[in-house]
Structure 1
Amino acid sequence: MEKSEDDELERLKREKMKEIMGKKQGSEFPESPLRITDSNFQNIVDEYPIIVVDFWAEWCSACKPMSPLIERMAEKYSGKIVFGKLNIDKNPKITNRFQITSIPTLLFLKNGSAIDKVIGTISPKQLEQKLKKYLD
């Protein structure tokens, strides 16, 4: 297949995924992590079927290597999974709601419900294995 055919196939897959998941056809999946806050959390959860939230803080040295991984995965899984970053120091309501006591923590939500959590750093391979499990 040529490059343009591959691009068209990917676009059609994304549209079909949105349709299957019952989301608005015009709703775009971001290619980079969303900035999630206490005030926009519910709107984001309501808009996208599968979300991975990275709970982090500026002072957290273990959180730093997770940031580029989350960026790469957001781009790679655009149209299928939305990634977000939530600073725990600035957003205590959501942090407390999900009982986040250690960072980094990745929280996986599907249709608004927490379905999995990873505490600590994770390799790209481990993260991809988890993501693929939720796409089936």
Structure 2
Amino acid sequence: MDELESIRQKRMQELQHSLEQKQYPSSTVTISDALFDEFVSKYPLVLVDCWAPWCGPCRMLSPILDELATEMQGKVVFGKLNVDDEKMTAVKFGITSIPAMLIFKDGKFVDQLIGAVPKQNIIQKLQSYM
């Protein structure tokens, strides 16, 4: 009976972990000023990419963030905020240069990365908050 209970508990943990991961988006999420606070508070660790369609470095960074959203699903959620369309949030966080990546832990702003930084630098920065 103990072995059966052990198997049952292990399976329950696996199912719970699987359910938790499914609740995390596996791709970047487009966010707006209106939903910004709700989005960054919904997940334990969030990276918000502040970008604009005309920005070359922003377009270079976009596929990297898409990859990271898939690779880090269940650990980090990635959002995209178009600063041309969503000016209030850009002003609130003093965004004067893009791409700018804002990092939030438990709904609070904790760090940022400016510029089209390499994928490994983004991973290292995020790992320091896991």
Interval of TM-score (by shorter of Structure 1 and Structure 2): 0.7 to 0.9
Is 2:100–2:113's contact at 8 Å kept on the other side of the alignment? yes
Deviation at residue 12 of structure 1 after TM alignment: 3.6
Query: Which residue pairs with 1:45 in the alignment?
Result: 40
The ranges of structure 1 where at least 4 consecutive aligned residues each deviate by more than 2 angstroms after the TM superposition are 11-16
Provide structure 1 residue ranges, at least 5 long, that are not aligned to the other structure: 1-7, 19-24
Which of the numbers 105, 108, 112 marks the counterpart of 1:117? 112
TM-score by length of 1: 0.80
State the SS of the aligned residue for 1:52. Answer: strand
Structure with greater helix percent: 2
Query: Which residue pairs with 1:15 in the alignment?
Result: 17
Number of residue pairs matched by the alignment:
120
Q: Does 1:72 align with 2:74?
A: no
Q: CA distance change for structure 1 residues 130 and 12 in 2, over 3 Å: closer, same or farther?
A: farther
Q: Percent identity?
A: 36
Larger Rg belongs to: 2
Deviations 1:92-121 (A, max 9, x none): 111111111100001100111111111111
Query: Which residue pairs with 1:97 in the alignment?
Result: 92
Rounded to whole Å, the distance in 1 between the matches of 2:14 and 2:79 is 24
Provide structure 2 residue ranges, at least 5 long, that are not aligned to the other structure: 1-9
Deviations 1:70-92 (A, max 9, x none): 00000011111000000000001
Query: Which residue pairs with 1:58 in the alignment?
Result: 53
* Cα-Cα RMSD: 2.6
